[in-house]
């Protein structure tokens, strides 16, 4: 049995790279503050497009070795963020990347989109009952932007949070644990607009083929819907380094980045969260600045695995 730190944060993501883009500054900040940060990634991201030409052979339609390669990218990203507890749902390769919505890979046996919900959630319940987080960060019901693996990651995270708290569900997975607060990733509209204004002002100085639009940013919400803004400015360099570690997927240039479409986007070091479940965080006039605000930290004992 191992004594866990008093504050524990669990994040659930679809593919390697999503965690660094959405929560890299948050993860680095809390890890540096001694919070136990656990990342569960649901697939290896086998269907991703590959940016560097010298690695193009890894892609699913060529060698189909991108998944194993991305395991290494994720490990490198976690070293940049100072996060030591990162796992794949059900073990590496248990669920395969389903590709974008509507492609043939959505029907492939073993892809995450076709996973049995309670079976997939069961893998996550085991993690929840071991780590006993006060806070869970997941996607909104649309997965932020409609990708099947992101939608499924939302469903699995929410189902697991419910099942983990039910003493009648799989007692073999450990004693029941109720997560105090669940957040969904989001970006307030004003922040997106300001970010793109900054990007357009940078004009020709950015090395990307073009500029993305605000519609390309996942999880954009009205400013009033944001519960917490985590100021990760001091960790912006760590976040950028973690994103760079996912070199098959992301090109980073200063405060901007591009995915395989080579369209520039702003890189946010203040990261935002919507409250999906649990007591509203205490805030001093407006948004809270801490995911744990108002929650009582407690010690917990992890099952030895
Ligand atoms: Zn993703």
Helices marked H in the chain — which ranges? 18-32, 66-81, 117-131, 148-164, 189-202, 236-245
Residue 150 assigned to a binding site: yes
Query: Is 18 annotated in some ligand binding site?
Result: yes
| Residue 222 marked in a binding site | no
Q: What pLDDT is recorded for position 302? A: 59
Q: What is the pLDDT of residue 65?
A: 98
Residue 207 sits at the vertex; the CA angle it makes with 272 and 197, to the nearest 5 degrees, is: 45
Where b means 16+ CB within 10 Å and e means fewer, 64-91 reads eebbebbbebbebbbebbbbebbbbbbe
Q: How far is the CA of 18 from the centre of ligand 1 (A)?
A: 5
- Which regions in the chain score pLDDT beneath 50? 305
Q: Ligand 1 centroid vs 199 CA: distance in angstroms?
A: 23
- How far away, in angstroms, is 284 Cα from ligand 1 center? 33
pLDDT at 3: 83
Question: What is the three-class DSSP state of 126?
Answer: helix
pLDDT in tens, 34-80: 999 999 999 999 999 999 999 999 999 999 999 999 999 999 999 99
With contact defined as beta carbons under 8 Å apart, do 264 and 211 qualify? Answer: yes
Measure CA 95 to chain center.
16
Ligand 1 centre and the CA of 14: distance in Å?
A: 5
> Residue 122, Cβ neighbours under 10 Å: how many?
20
- Residues whose Cβ atom is located within 5 A of ion ligand 1: 14-15, 18
User: How far is the C-alpha of 24 from the C-alpha of 17, rounded, in Å?
Assistant: 9
Q: How far is the centre of ligand 1, averaged over its atoms, from the C-alpha of 215 (Å)?
A: 16
Helices (H), 166-297: 189-202, 236-245
Our measurement of the distance from residue 109's CA atom to the centroid of its chain's CA atoms, rounded to an integer in Å, reads 24
> Rounded to whole angstroms, what are the CA distances from 242 to 27, 56, 119, 268, 276?
11, 21, 31, 13, 27
- Quote the pTM value: 0.96
Distance 99 CA to ligand 1 centre (A): 9
Ligand 1 center–CA 1 separation, angstroms: 34
- pLDDT for 305 equals 46
d(CA 198, CA 255): 10
């Amino acid at each position: 049995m191992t004594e866990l730190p008093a504050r524990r944060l669990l994040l659930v993501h679809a593919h390697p790279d999503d965690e660094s883009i959405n929560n890299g500054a948050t993860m680095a900040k809390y890890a540096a503050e001694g919070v136990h940060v656990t990342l569960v990634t649901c697939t290896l991201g086998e269907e991703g497009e590959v940016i560097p030409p010298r690695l193009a052979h890894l892609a699913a339609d060529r060698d189909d070795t991108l998944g194993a390669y991305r395991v290494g990218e994720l490990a490198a990203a976690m070293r940049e963020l100072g996060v030591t507890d990162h796992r794949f749902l059900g073990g590496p390769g248990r669920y395969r990347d389903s590709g974008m919505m509507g492609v043939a890979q959505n029907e492939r046996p073993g892809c995450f989109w076709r996973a049995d919900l309670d079976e997939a959630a069961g893998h996550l319940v085991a993690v929840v009952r071991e780590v006993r987080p006060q806070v869970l960060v997941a996607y909104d019901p649309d997965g932020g932007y409609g990708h099947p693996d992101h939608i499924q990651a939302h469903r699995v995270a929410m189902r697991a949070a419910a099942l983990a708290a039910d003493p009648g569900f799989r007692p073999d997975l450990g004693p029941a644990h109720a997560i105090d607060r669940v957040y969904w990733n989001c970006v307030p509209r004003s922040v997106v607009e300001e970010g793109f204004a900054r990007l357009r002002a940078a004009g020709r100085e950015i090395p990307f083929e073009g500029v993305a639009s605000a519609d390309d940013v996942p999880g954009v919400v009205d400013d009033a819907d944001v519960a917490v803004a985590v100021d990760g400015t001091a960790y912006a360099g760590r976040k950028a380094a973690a994103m760079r570690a996912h070199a098959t997927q992301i090109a980073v240039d200063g405060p901007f980045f591009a995915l395989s479409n080579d369209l520039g986007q702003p890189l946010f070091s203040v990261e935002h969260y919507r409250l999906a479940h649990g007591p509203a965080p205490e805030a001093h006039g407006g948004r809270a600045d801490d995911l744990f605000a108002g929650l009582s930290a407690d010690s917990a004992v992890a099952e030895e695995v």
